[in-house]
A = this chain, B = another copy of it.
Amino acid sequence: MDKFRIENCSDELLCGIDGGGTTTKVVVCNLEGQVLDSFQSGTINHYGAGIPKVKEYFAAIAANIIEKFACLPGTIFTGNSALDGLADDALVQELTNGVFHPSKVVFHSDVYIALLSFTLGNPGAVLISGTGSMACGIDAGGAYHTAGGWGQVLGDEGSAYHIALKGIHAALHAYDGLSEPTMLSASVMKFFDLKKMSDIIDKIYNPPVEKGVIAAFAPEVERAAEEGDPAALHIMESEAEWLYKLALAITKKCITQNLGYFGSVLNHNHRIRSKLSALLAEQFISLQVPRFKPEIGALIGAFRESGHRVSDSVIDNLLKYR
């Protein structure tokens, strides 16, 4: 293989990679920010896919770029959902198997490129609530801060997983007579296709389900809240308050009032987003839709890493990417 490896790269090209939990998005642009190519590959999350698969996907990504451009981009910036911060060179080398040599390759977390897509590298913060929840930001001194992101056992308050779990708990409390009846008991029976409530034990533990299976119940909790179910409404209030606490903590750490948001809960759960917006507005913090997708955040990382300015015309060009 080494014989055929392209041994040069072009400083005129930059690459951004968003390595999510299920797919990877790759974008290549020139120094004017014109996106020249974009494509998807399998997930490069090595906890999910395993290292051999990840090596395979990176080889395919490199081959794809070389086929199109006959060389590699000078800088490749990757947001990797398996990471919680900047990776060292040894890990980059292990996962990519050197297929990007001699390009400069940086691996950071997926939340970091989401942050870049909102702040373009300037001070600011983002709040993410999808299956999990987390906040991160950059302060005026350029320091990176995080809050939350502890995963489904240790935290993830305000996430789809947490909303769903609280909904299931409420259903079981009502079933046991620990609390007033709630629509959620019937929702749990139907959603998890149970003949009797105790069948949920086998569904959840035998074998242990992926967290996504539980998180998928979150829209049912929202539905019950829409229909006025008190237990579901209480969960929505409480989860919005968790996100508020997370938002306050990160904006305080970064001394910023700019907060972007990402993730299925904040995109689709209007009740939670509007409650959160209202709470934040009292603190003069505005919750904003980021202008760019995370893969463009990765490109912005590549601009910065290679010492190129993200000018207004670059931004205008990047905004054309959909």
Interface residues of A (CB under 8 A from B): 47, 84, 147-148, 150-151, 153-155, 165, 168-169, 172-173, 176-179, 198, 200-201, 204-206, 208, 214, 245-246, 248-249, 252-253
Contacts and interface: CB of A to CB of B under 8 A. Distances in A.
A144 to B, nearest CB: 13
Contacts of A147: 176-178
Given A153-B204, A177-B249, A179-B245, 20 more contacts: A47-B206, A84-B198, A147-B176, A147-B177, A148-B176, A150-B172, A150-B201, A151-B204, A151-B205, A153-B165, A153-B205, A153-B214, A154-B168, A154-B172, A173-B245, A176-B246, A176-B249, A177-B252, A177-B253, A208-B208
**What number of copies of this chain does the assembly contain?**
2
Contacts of A168: 154
Nearest to A168: B154
Contacts of A173: 245
Contacts of A252: 177
8 contacts: A147-B177, A147-B178, A150-B172, A154-B204, A177-B252, A178-B245, A178-B248, A208-B208
Contacts of A249: 176-178
A-B pairs, 3 with minimum CB distance:
A147-B176, A177-B249, A178-B245
Contact of A154 (B84, B178, B200, B248): B200
A179 B244 CA distance: 12
A199 to B, nearest CB: 11
Contacts of A177: 147, 249, 252-253
Nearest to A84: B198
Contacts of A154: 168-169, 172, 200-201, 204
